[in-house]
């Protein structure tokens, strides 16, 4: 079957879309949805307003597409990082030690900003059915991938969950996203305690051994 070659016009269009998307994401990170400056995006992307309408339909569709791309990329990175942690762990003890270290990292400034952006995207989806459906599909796919990682751990005998693995996945995801409530409260003195409770909760959810229950209880944030 012959594969049509990209014409110069088609290639130019793809490059224009990529530039617009890159600059839209930078604009979202800098100013958010409320102060999104589409003129600045067009100027930095070296694109005409007609190109924006042609490729995305409107300013708001550009914003929603950029938000979706950011969310999907974040979900993919989260899942790939967890899969790498699972596949690279040399032992049950090594896995849970790395998991505890990863959980401690959730208090970092980068993750605080990331959670805020993710919540902003979810809020935007309440006003856009197309975005909501795309997020739903991405979330379902991502959580199935995460569940497969848990299945690898169960096959190895490192975890023994007492509940459906997919349900466990959604509980873990909800716990991590729920960290944003502490972010909003601006109570840094509770971060160590939150991480300790979160680790213990996850170990319980996945059915970690008693040895790792004690690891969770004794977990402290590294200084």
Cβ–Cβ < 8 Å for 103, 203? no
Q: What would the DSSP string read from start to end of the chain?
A: ---PPPPHHHHHHHHHHHHHHHHHHHHHHHHTTTT--HHHHHHHHT--HHHHHHHHSSHHHHHHHHHHHHHHHHHHHHHHHHHHHHHH-SSHHHHHHHHHHHHHGGGSHHHHHHHHHHHHHHHHHTT-HHHHHHHHHHHHHHHHHHHHHHHHHHHHTS---SS-HHHHHHHHHHHHHTHHHHHHHT-GGGHHHHHHHHHHHHHHHHT--HHHHHHHHT-----
Q: For the CA atoms of 206, 211, 214, 216, what is the dihedral angle to 10 degrees?
A: -40
CATH domain 7-57 topology: Arc Repressor Mutant, subunit A (1.10.10)
Q: What is the pLDDT of residue 217?
A: 55
Cβ–Cβ < 8 Å for 169, 146? yes
Can you tell me the distance from the alpha carbon of 83 to that of 205, in angstroms, rounded to the nearest whole number?
18
Q: What is the pLDDT of residue 127?
A: 80
- Domain positions in the chain: 7-57, 64-217
CA 175 centroid distance within chain: 13
Superfamily grouping for domain 64-217: Tetracycline Repressor, domain 2 (1.10.357.10)
Residue pLDDT tens, the chain, 223 long: 444 444 444 566 788 888 999 999 898 888 888 888 999 999 999 888 888 888 888 888 888 888 888 888 888 998 999 999 999 999 988 898 888 888 888 888 878 888 887 887 888 788 888 888 888 999 999 999 999 999 999 999 999 999 999 999 999 999 988 899 999 899 999 999 998 899 889 998 998 866 665 655 555 544 4
**Block residue for tokens 């809020």:** 123
**Block residue for tokens 């929603």:** 64
């Amino acid at each position: 079957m012959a594969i049509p070659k990209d014409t110069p016009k088609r290639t130019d269009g793809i490059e224009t879309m990529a530039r617009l998307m890159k600059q839209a994401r930078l604009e979202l990170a800098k100013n958010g949805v409320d102060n999104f400056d589409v003129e600045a995006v067009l100027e930095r992307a070296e694109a005409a307003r007609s190109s924006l309408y042609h490729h995305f339909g409107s300013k708001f569709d550009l914003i929603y597409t950029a938000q979706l791309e950011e969310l999907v990329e974040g979900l993919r990175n989260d899942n790939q990082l967890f899969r790498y942690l699972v596949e690279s762990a040399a032992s049950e003890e090594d896995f849970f030690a790395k998991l505890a270290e990863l959980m401690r990292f959730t208090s970092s400034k980068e993750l605080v900003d990331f959670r805020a952006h993710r919540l902003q995207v979810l809020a935007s989806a309440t006003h856009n059915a197309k975005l909501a459906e795309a997020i739903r599909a991405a979330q379902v796919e991502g959580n199935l991938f995460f569940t497969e990682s848990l299945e690898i751990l169960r096959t190895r005998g490192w975890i023994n969950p007492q509940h459906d693995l997919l349900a466990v996945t959604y509980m873990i995801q909800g716990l991590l996203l729920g960290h944003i409530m502490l972010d909003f409260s601006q109570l840094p003195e509770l971060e160590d305690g939150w991480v300790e409770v979160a680790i213990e909760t996850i170990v319980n959810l996945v059915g970690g051994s008693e040895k790792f229950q004690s690891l969770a209880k004794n977990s402290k944030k590294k200084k």
